[in-house]
């Protein structure tokens, strides 16, 4: 079975920039669902909400205690132990 997994991983095409952006947005959604802290400007924050507006290329994220929206690319994730 492990040989099958290696073959699928080796034949998978490399992720595009859009794939990586989608993965990042899914991590933001997951952090909100699980009440996990994220890192913004070297501070731990909680996600208050997020939304997609028609025609926007990326989501808009709101952090608790931060006034104004934050771009998703400005958010990083804390390593889980």
**What is the per-residue DSSP string for the chain?**
-HHHHHHHHHHSPPPPHHHHHHHHHHHHHHHHHTT--EEETTEEE-EEEEE--TT-SS-EEEETT--S-B-GGGEEEPPP-
pLDDT of residue 53: 77
Residue-level pLDDT at 76: 95
Domain assignment present for residue 19? The answer is no
Whether residue 14 is contained in a domain is answered as: no
The residue ranking higher by pLDDT, 79 or 9, is 79
The count of domains in the chain is 1
Q: Is residue 26 part of a domain?
A: no
Q: Which two tokens stand for residue 26?
A: 């899914």
Phi, psi of 32 (to 5 degrees): -65, -45
Q: Look at residue 60 and tell me if it is in a domain.
A: yes
Residue 15 lies in a domain: no
In which domain, by residue range, is 50 found?
Answer: 37-81
Looking at the domain assignment, is residue 66 inside a domain? yes
Residues 41-68 have pLDDT tens digits of 999 999 999 998 777 778 899 999 999 9
pLDDT over 60 at 37, yes or no: yes
């Amino acid at each position: 079975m492990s040989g099958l997994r290696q073959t699928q991983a080796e034949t998978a095409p490399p992720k595009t920039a859009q794939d990586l952006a989608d993965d990042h947005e899914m991590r933001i959604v997951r952090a909100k669902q699980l009440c996990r802290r994220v890192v913004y400007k070297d501070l731990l924050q909680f996600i208050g909400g997020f939304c997609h507006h028609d025609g926007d290329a990326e989501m808009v994220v709101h952090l608790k205690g931060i006034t104004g929206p934050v771009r998703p690319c400005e958010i990083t994730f804390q390593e889980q132990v």
